[in-house]
Amino acid sequence: MRFDFSDEQQLWHDTVNRFIDSEGGGREYARRCDGERRYPYELYEKVAKQGWLGLLVPEEYGGMGADAMFYAIFMGAMGKYAVDFSSAFGVTTFTAMNLVRHGTRQQKEQYLPAFIEGRVRFSISMTEPNAGSDVASLTTRAELKDDHFVLNGQKVFASAAHARDNIICMAVRTDPNAPKHKGISLLLVPNDTPGLELRLLPTLARRSTGTNEIFLTDVRVPYQNLIGELNHGWRYLVEHLEIERLAISAGYVSCAQTAVSDALRYAKERHQFGRAIGEFQVIKHMLADMQTQVDAATLMVYRVAYLASQGRACTREAAMAKLIASETLLDVATKGMQILGGYAQLPEYDMERYWREGKQATVGGGTSQIQRSIIAKGMGL
């Protein structure tokens, strides 16, 4: 049993982390995008030029054909200074895997090379006003008429759906008479399709990636935009959520480590009562707990990456990783806010952004309560 990276994995880790600090603009760029509520197009284009969008895509379609360990390392680097950035890259890359796994050859040849080059983005839309944790209760209807579907309904909290050149992988109900876990399909819906209206929501976090409400009124989508088999979408969504939870969890623990490092640096530099505040036991122990939490959460995230890279089922383990990673980010950012005191309220100290992203992390991608239910089910409860 190994608890460190291989030489190749370590080289990849160092490469992508150097990139985010130099070419990626580091924390300054993260602050600007968050403050301006602006999608990180510049960073996206630079990553596309590296070919890294195709990290998990098979080589026959121009991808790198890497495994889940390399993907987790990449997502960690993207989330180093902003979970929002790991969200932007996560939603497009893990949504593309629905095409890799279930798309037709024509779909793969049409979309995957363009995706890798950065000419096409992907996002996914499952949640509806009355179907959040209970996604299978979605009601957005896609009625098959001859050679196309007609979509009517409403979606909400769709990350990055507004980004330019974006195609939404939308979960819709194609058989209203089937049981709720049946009769669901996945359709590719370009975000500029007539009848589709987007409204960017002013959320607490996800300010850069952006979260959208979507209204669909007689939206026409060709039949060939169906991913996989008709009415089999729920099975695809279950598969999708495993890789999604790995991706976002890797971003969470990386950002959590940055929060700890920032708090530690401040504790060494800030002097009160004649000495650095890090010399006080109450601060020492707080930081020790924070680092221990991050290390534990990181190990759980990379366990999922290892299992996924071996092709092993990891639904329960992915839920565990998502649970501990999100709650760890929120907890260490909360403690970091306390250590930085008044300065934590200022955006140039970043901690308030980590806290906002930590709070969102316990909800997005499945709430902490849902993760606990998944884990309990995996235990036979």
**pTM of the predicted protein model:** 0.96
Distance CA 7, CA 371 (A): 33
Residue 123 pairs in a beta bridge with: 168
Residues 357-379: tens digit of each pLDDT: 999 999 999 999 999 999 999 99
Q: What are phi and psi of 282, to 5 degrees?
A: -60, -35
Q: What local confidence, expressed as pLDDT, does residue 86 receive?
A: 95
Q: Which domains does the chain have, with CATH numbers?
A: 7-121 (1.10.540.10), 123-231 (2.40.110.10), 234-378 (1.20.140.10)
Q: Provide mean pLDDT across the span 225-248.
A: 95
pLDDT-based confidence at residue 295 (cuts at 50, 70, 90): very high
Is 90 exceeded by the pLDDT of residue 2?
no
Closest CA to 297 of 274, 314, 320: 320
Q: What local confidence, expressed as pLDDT, does residue 3 receive?
A: 85
Is 80 exceeded by the pLDDT of residue 37?
yes
At 248 the three-state DSSP class reads helix
Element (H, E) at 375: helix 368-378
The sign of the CA dihedral 164, 165, 169, 175 is positive
Q: Provide the mean pLDDT of the chain.
A: 96
pLDDT-based confidence at residue 185 (cuts at 50, 70, 90): very high
Is 80 exceeded by the pLDDT of residue 1?
no
pLDDT-based confidence at residue 100 (cuts at 50, 70, 90): very high
Is 80 exceeded by the pLDDT of residue 205?
yes
